[in-house]
């Protein structure tokens, strides 16, 4: 009989997985920190993990959809962290039973991605950064799924953040792309759950747009290469 994994067990496994990722990236990681291990502005909060880095530090909270809905501390925690220079919050929502396993052929094709990126650039140029960012991220996720398909990497059932991590582990994404895309994915997660702010700096949105355009070029090259192999 297959053991049933509870939400708490799933969250704990995810916390340990994230801790390993941050340690590998050079962060000093504290899991379930006590008040004495927290900086003054975080004392009093029950945190899953903090990662202290040379250039940035991260508060990581792992929640199921059920615990997220019942959380009264997250809005205050998010505000507190966002006000602190050099800190950011990463919210990871874990509930695989509710994930939709989309086949890759349902992801936008390259022509659709290119069209949406053109629209996103027009929105960004017009100062509509909120709409531009969401359209860019949707295009990035479609591009990542296509790229994984062409490279033979299974992304079935993975969240956007996990897709970025998997493609980096497999050597398909660079460390630079990993950091930028993870940050963008974290921003997207916070925003869609009403827990954070959209990027307000045009340069940061344009940077994500440039990365999306680079991914589009990569999947076009992979598609062309695969077509040659099959001809």
Higher pLDDT, 194 or 14: 14
Q: What is the pLDDT of residue 219?
A: 85
Q: Please provide the DSSP assignment of the chain as one string.
A: -PPPPPHHHHHHHHHHHHHHHHHHTT-EEEES--GGGS-GGGTT---SEEEE-SS-EEEEEEE-HHHHHT-SSHHHHHHHHHTSTTEEEEEEE--GGG-----GGGS--HHHHHHHHHHHHHHHHTT-HHHHHHHHHHHHHHHHHHHHHHTT---TT--HHHHHHHHHHTTSS-HHHHHHHHHHHHHHHHHHTTSS-----HHHHHHHHHHHHHHHHHHHHHHHHHHHHH-
Tokens of 177: 């792309």
∠ CA(102), CA(11), CA(106), 5° rounding? 5
Domain 104-230: state its class: mainly alpha
Query: Residue 128 and residue 72: Cα distance in Å, rounded?
Result: 31
Instruction: Please give the CATH topology (third level) of the domain spanning 7-95.
Output: Trna Endonuclease; Chain: A, domain 1 (3.40.1350)
Asked if the model's pLDDT at residue 72 lies above 50, the reply is yes
Q: In what side-by-side order are the strands of the sheet with 87-93?
A: 28-31, 49-52, 57-63, 87-93
> How many angstroms separate the CA atoms of 12 and 95, rounded?
13
pLDDT at 226: 62
Q: Which of 50-59, 60-69, 183-192 has the highest mean pLDDT?
A: 50-59
**Range(s) of the chain covered by CATH 1.20.120.330:** 104-230
- Distance CA(19)–CA(4), nearest Å, equals 24
Mean pLDDT of 16-32: 92
pLDDT tens-place string over residues 105-154: 567 888 999 999 999 999 999 999 998 999 999 999 999 988 888 888 87
Tokens of residue 181, six digits:
């895309």
Cβ(48)–Cβ(71) below 8 Å:
no
- At 179-205, the pLDDT tens digits run 889 889 888 878 877 777 888 889 999
Lowest mean pLDDT among 29-38, 98-107, 175-184, 212-221: 98-107
Distance CA 185, CA 183 (A): 5
Query: Does the pLDDT value for residue 58 go beyond 70?
Result: yes
Q: Which tokens in the block code for residue 110?
A: 């390259």
Domain with CATH 3.40.1350 in the chain: 7-95
Q: What is the pLDDT of residue 68?
A: 54
């Amino acid at each position: 009989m297959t053991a049933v994994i509870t939400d708490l067990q799933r969250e704990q496994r995810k916390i340990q997985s994230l801790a390993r990722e941050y340690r590998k990236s050079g962060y000093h990681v504290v899991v379930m920190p006590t008040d004495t291990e927290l900086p003054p502005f975080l004392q009093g909060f029950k945190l899953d993990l903090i990662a202290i880095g040379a250039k940035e530090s991260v508060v990581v909270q792992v929640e199921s959809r059920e615990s997220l809905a019942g959380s009264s501390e997250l809005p205050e925690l998010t505000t507190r962290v966002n006000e602190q220079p050099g800190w950011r919050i990463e919210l990871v929502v874990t509930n695989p039973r509710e994930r939709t396993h989309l086949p890759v052929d349902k992801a936008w094709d390259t022509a659709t991605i290119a069209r949406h990126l053109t629209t996103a650039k027009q929105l960004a140029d017009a100062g509509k950064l909120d709409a531009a960012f969401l359209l860019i991220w949707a295009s990035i996720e479609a591009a990542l799924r296509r790229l994984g398909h062409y490279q033979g990497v299974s992304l079935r059932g993975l969240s956007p953040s996990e897709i970025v991590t998997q493609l980096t582990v497999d050597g398909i994404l660079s460390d630079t792309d990993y950091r930028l895309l993870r940050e963008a994915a974290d921003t997207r997660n916070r925003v869609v759950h009403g827990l954070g702010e959209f990027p307000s700096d045009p340069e940061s949105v344009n940077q994500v747009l440039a990365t999306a355009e680079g991914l589009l070029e990569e999947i076009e090259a992979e598609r062309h290469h695969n077509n040659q192999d099959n001809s």
